Amino acid sequence: MRQRSRTVAFLLFAGLGCLCLIALSACALPQQIPDSATIRGRVVDSSGALLAEVQITLRNPSGAITAKTATDSNGQFVISGIGPGPYTLEAERKKFETARRDILVSVATPLPDLEIIMKVAGRTETVNVFQPEGYAAMATTVATKTDTPLLQLPFSVQVVPNEVLQDQQVTRLEQAIRNVSNVYQTNPGFSNFGD
C-alpha cells in the first residue's frame, strides 16, 4: 500500500510539472496583441536602389520611441504589434538625409507596404582659420615703409621672420637666403668678405 501511494504521488507530481511546463511555454510564444497592426515597407535611394542597414524608428505623437528596427539586405523592414493611432516613421543611415513620414495605423484598414525614398546628404565641411603664430609674417614695414598687410600689396614681398633665423642658427648671409625662393648664391667664395 505504501508503495502504491508513493507511485500515485509521483504521478500526480509529474503530471502537475508537465502542466506547468505547458503553461509556461504558451506564455513564452509570441502573441499578436489584440487590436494591433503590422507596418511593412522598403527603403530605397533616389535612384531606386535598395538600402540595407537603415535604422527605422517609429515615434508616437509625443515623440517617444514606440519601436525600432533595421532594414535587411533587401531594404525591407517589418514592425509588428503596433496599436492604432498616428505615428512618425523615421529612416536614418550615414551619408543620407533622415527621411520622415507621418502614418496613421488602423486595425480595420491595414497599411499598404510603404516605400521610403532617402536622399544623399549634402557634404558639409568646416574650415577654421586661426591667426598664425611663429613663422608667419602678416606685415612688414621694411619692404614697403608702410603698415600695409602683405596680402594687400600689389607686388610680392618675402619676409624671413626672426624666429626662423634664430631656429636655424643663421650667422651668415648665404644661410639666410636659402629661406627665400628665387634667390640663389652664384659665387660661394664671394660671401667671405665679411669675415
For residues 135-142, give the mean pLDDT: 68
The three three-digit cell numbers of residue 78, written as one number = 517589418
Q: Is residue 55 over pLDDT 90?
A: yes
Tell me the C-alpha to C-alpha distance, in Å, between residue 193 and each of 116, 168, 172, 183, 190. 81, 22, 11, 19, 6
| More confidently predicted of 29 and 137 | 137
Q: Can you tell me the distance from the alpha carbon of 158 to that of 137, in angstroms, rounded to the nearest whole number?
A: 9
Q: Is residue 195 over pLDDT 50?
A: no
Residue type, position 175, single letter: Q
| More confidently predicted of 103 and 6 | 103
- How high is the pLDDT of residue 92? 96
- How high is the pLDDT of residue 29? 44
The three three-digit cell numbers of residue 65, written as one number = 520611441
Q: Is residue 69 over pLDDT 90?
A: yes
State the pTM of this model: 0.48
Superfamily designation of domain 37-118: Carboxypeptidase-like, regulatory domain (2.60.40.1120)
For residues 163-174, give the mean pLDDT: 81
What percent of the chain has pLDDT above 70?
Answer: 67
- How high is the pLDDT of residue 28? 47
Three-state SS string over the chain comes to: CHHHHHHHHHHHHHHHHHHHHHHHHHHHCCCCCCCCEEEEEEEEECCCCECCCCEEEEECCCCCEEEEEECCCCCEEEEEEECCEEEEEEEECCCECCEEEEEEECCCCCCCCEEEEECECCCCCCCCCCCCCCCCCCECCCCCCCCCEHHHCCCCCCCCCHHHHHHCCCCCHHHHHHHCCCCCCCCHHHHHHHC
Q: Domain residues of the chain, as ranges? A: 37-118, 132-181
Q: Is residue 16 over pLDDT 70?
A: no
